[in-house]
Structure 1
Amino acid sequence: MLSTESAATIRATLPVVAASLDTITARFYEAMLDDHPELLDGMFNRGNQASGEQSRALAGSIAAFATGLLAHPDERPDALLSRIAHKHVSLGVTEDQYVVVHKYLFGAIAQTLGDAATPDVVSAWDEVYWLMAGALIALEARLYNAAGADGGDVWRPWRVAERREQTPDTVSLTLEPGTDDPVPAFLPGQYVSVRVRLADGVHQARQYSLSGWDGRRRRITVKRLRAGATPAGEVSTLLHDTAVPGDTLMVSAPAGDVALAEGDHPLLLVSAGIGCTPIVAMLQRLAERADPRRVLVLHADRGPAEHAHRGETAALVDALPGADLRTWYGTGGDGRGQGRMDLSGIDLPEDAEAYLCGPLPFMRDVRAQLLDAGVPARRVHYEVFGPDLWLGGA
């Protein structure tokens, strides 16, 4: 709980600090990575650093956490903390790194706010930081323990056993353990990080949903991110162009807080583009159980040739007695190439749990349609590929 004195200071300074957060976080990352370049080697996504997405995501999470403390002093924003903790665990973030972050973050605050960074202001924001950091450290420790990765040792070697072209820009890689260690359990909808060494010697890690499994084997599906408004994806391009059977990849323990929940409630599984990958895993689990419940699978894409796992999705839906599939093909609508998903003529099951994955504009649009149709916000779950720049209304 935030102290009364600090709460008053945070309430008074939140507007000016929030307005300066982009500058604060940009200065923070610049100073920290200048002094600790090793953190960029496998820990931070340098593509997101270059675009500013990582800074904006950090700024948004700090502002959201502080706002939550003021609005609900006796509660923690568990959804926000869970999302961050799972991402940290997928990268092996350790407790000592929070001390490093604190040093450079508060240096950036002092530099940006100048004389406004009085001892009382710094003390209040320090309290916010350690409340957030403490909650994350505790949550991450539990996640590491559950994964058998105490101390943040999440990386294990996995061999590429099979490679399958899904679309011209999408490839599935079936992985098998590189050791005889127990294979960590996972929930459909979760992801793993894959760490590779790039041509310049720098290691980079990216998250990929587990799109299927077979015994001890696990499958990921990689979409090559071509250059456009942003540079080409470094890791996705490397994996798409070079990963072949026999290669060894370093893969983290599974993580992710958007996973298929147990129960008998109807399901809405909604995706666009490569967002189909966690949905395919959810369908595989349901098909293995011959789940009888109502399942409505909705997907938007540029066209059939660009729809990864199209045949597999249809087969899994056919294997479920209560499942139906609807697709939208065409350009435009969400700004990312997929056709707009219009739910106005869809008979949405009552009391359904909805799982969304796809580009942010797509998920914002679909979530708004679901809320307008009467689906409670608490029943709409979403997965973001990359830094979570949404935050609002989640």
Structure 2
Amino acid sequence: MTNEQKDLVKATVPVLKANGVALTTYFYNRMLTKNPELRNVFNSANQHTGAQPTALAMAVLAYAEHIDNPQVLSHAVNRIANKHVSLDVRPEQYAIVGKHLLASIGEVLGEAATPELIDAWLVAYQQLAGIMSGAEADLYSQSAAKEGGWSGWRPFVVKQKVQESDEITSFYLHPADQGKVAGFIPGQYITVRLFVPELHVFQPRQYSISCAPNGEYYRISVKKEHGNQQRPEGYVSNLLHNSIQEGTMIEVAAPSGDFVLDTEKTDPIVFISGGVGVTPFMSMLDYLISAGNKRPVTWIHGCRGYRVHAFKDHVRELGEKHDAMSVHTFYDKIEQQIEDGYYEGFVDLSKVQQAMQPDAQYYICGPGAFIKKHFDYLSAQGVAREAIHFEEFGPATLAVE
């Protein structure tokens, strides 16, 4: 890009800050209307809630702000590339996205979208598409090269379906070809794709793998999303709970994701989860115990109450096998007498401060507000930013400093 083109892109930053979501909402509507086949790629619920347009607006804004040095966005690029690979996004689809994004900029900005500005954004988008396609090609190659690895969609059979709580059910997925399954780093997710009759399209959803690597199967533990005024009922989660039975075949994409346990470190670990955000930590904890790893662990989990508390017995059993693990559970409301280690109310790290060891690595998973609350608390306690790792389920809309 020329310096003049970079200046034109940076000049759109104020517009993106003020109207970015309106622009990306228009873009998605335009693209999915003119290329309806892409409805098989995008999560319809995230379109409905505005989470997907918000995430794209934040990404476009960040790219415009750092157009002089996009390398500073390498972490974000890696996270998005993992998500794209999990959805089987291919290079040719970038041309479709680019066409509609540039057309949307022109149609939304009107006279402000001069030919020079559109040309500058064309070059900027082509640069970004090249960065993303390159990162994704590496991930596809690495996935396919693993023993038991593959690229794209692979049929799996639901061998077991186990209820973990009133809301969460685990699905044990074995490859239909009876081959091996690729290894993964604890904390990663897989994507399942189901046909949704109400929408007349396939819908992909990412679910954290909730077991340790074993070479034979993946386990996902899915919350049945009932929906509310802000968010529709979960199409895929309800299909899994209501319609998918043992013996059913479903399509699965290979493990992806960069919210992972650093298996080389030896310092203490603090897991902080809310609701179904516990699932990636089950994989991490199972791995630590099965590997005989003696890193001190502090387990902090919050949910609404006893009946929706998944894996409570399994976590206690694993804790008993570990020489240095403490378990702390927060229920919104405690409705019966239970043992020590339970607290009433939302997760409050100050109540378990004595259990969190110095120089620990902190892992947080749950809703965006949950993550930000605990990230801010830890930062205020002097915990270094690089020691705090978090995963926001769904499109990345959370900004923390």
Give the TM interval when normalised to the shorter protein. over 0.9
1:59 — aligned with what?
Answer: 57
1:369 — aligned with what?
Answer: 377
Structure 1 stretch displaced more, 127-136 or 267-276: 127-136
Contact kept, 8 Å, 2:143 with 2:151, in 1: the verdict is no
2:218 — aligned with what?
Answer: 218
Aligned pairs for 1:1-394 (under 5 A) are 3-41=2-40, 43-70=41-68, 73=69, 75-148=71-144, 153-200=151-198, 201-213=200-212, 214-229=214-229, 230-262=231-263, 263-330=265-332, 339-345=345-351, 346-347=353-354, 348-390=356-398, 392-393=399-400
Q: CA deviation at 1:264?
A: 0.8
Structure 1 stretch displaced more, 276-285 or 228-237: 228-237
**Once the two structures are aligned, what percentage of the paired residues are identical?**
35
Q: CA deviation at 1:3?
A: 4.2
- In the alignment, the residues of structure 2 paired with residue 69 and residue 350 of structure 1 have an alpha-carbon distance, to the nearest angstrom, of 38
Q: CA deviation at 1:251?
A: 0.8
Gaps of 5+ in 2: 335-343
Contact kept, 8 Å, 1:301 with 1:339, in 2: the verdict is no
Gaps of 5+ in 1: 333-337
Structure 1 stretch displaced more, 97-106 or 32-41: 32-41
TM-score using structure 2 length: 0.91
CA RMSD in angstroms, aligned pairs only: 2.0
Superposed CA offset, 1:82-104 (max 9, x none)? 11111100010000101100000
Go from structure 1 to structure 2 and tell me whether the alpha carbon gap of 1:315 and 1:69 turns closer, same or farther (over 3 Å shift): farther
Residue type of the alignment partner of 1:68: H
Q: CA deviation at 1:62?
A: 0.9
Q: CA deviation at 1:360?
A: 1.0
3-state secondary structure, aligned to 2:257: coil
3-state secondary structure, aligned to 2:27: helix
- In the alignment, the residues of structure 1 paired with residue 390 and residue 179 of structure 2 have an alpha-carbon distance, to the nearest angstrom, of 32
- In the alignment, the residues of structure 2 paired with residue 276 and residue 364 of structure 1 have an alpha-carbon distance, to the nearest angstrom, of 17
3-state secondary structure, aligned to 1:86: helix
Superposed CA offset, 1:196-230 (max 9, x none)? 11224421111110001554021000100012131
- In the alignment, the residues of structure 2 paired with residue 170 and residue 104 of structure 1 have an alpha-carbon distance, to the nearest angstrom, of 39
Contact kept, 8 Å, 2:154 with 2:253, in 1: the verdict is yes
3-state secondary structure, aligned to 1:205: strand
TM-score using structure 1 length: 0.92
Structure 1 stretch displaced more, 202-211 or 340-349: 340-349
Contact kept, 8 Å, 1:283 with 1:317, in 2: the verdict is no
Q: CA deviation at 1:316?
A: 1.6
Structure 1 stretch displaced more, 101-110 or 320-329: 320-329
Q: CA deviation at 1:37?
A: 0.8
Go from structure 1 to structure 2 and tell me whether the alpha carbon gap of 1:351 and 1:298 turns closer, same or farther (over 3 Å shift): same
Number of residue equivalences:
383
Residue type of the alignment partner of 1:222: V
- In the alignment, the residues of structure 2 paired with residue 351 and residue 131 of structure 1 have an alpha-carbon distance, to the nearest angstrom, of 40
Q: CA deviation at 1:20?
A: 2.2
Structure 1 stretch displaced more, 276-285 or 124-133: 124-133
- In the alignment, the residues of structure 1 paired with residue 224 and residue 70 of structure 2 have an alpha-carbon distance, to the nearest angstrom, of 44
